[in-house]
Homo-oligomer: A and B are copies of this chain.
C-alpha cells in the first residue's frame, strides 16, 4: 500500500466530495475518511495543497467563512469542476476496469462506453 497509489486520483476524490456540497478542508478530510470506510486518512499537508491546485486550475472556488474567530476557507465546485469530475469518473471506471482485468485474470470484459 504504497502511498503513491493515490497519485492522480486525489483530485477526483476531492471533487466528488465537493459535489455533495461546499465544505472546508478539514471537513473534506473527515468526509473522505468516513466515506472511504477509513481507507483514506489524508494528512492536511496532502489536502490543502491539493485544494489550492484545484483552485488554481479553476475547478473549485473558495471563500473565507469566518464563524467568529475561527476562520475557515470553504470550497465549492465550479462549472469546470463539475465537468472535470464527470470526466474523472469516466477515467476512473476505465482505469479501474483495466487494472482489475489485468490483475484478476487474463480475460477482459471491456464494455465500450460509447
Contacts and interface: CB of A to CB of B under 8 A. Distances in A.
Number of identical protomers:
2
Given A36-B98, A36-B108, A8 B13 contact: no
Interface string A78-112: 00000000001101101111111111101110100
A13 B99 contact: yes
Interface residues of A, number: 39
A110 to B, nearest CB: 4
A40 interface: yes
Given A40-B98, A98-B40, A106 B8 contact: no
Interface of A: 1-9, 12-13, 16-17, 20, 32, 35-37, 39-40, 88-89, 91-92, 94-104, 106-108, 110
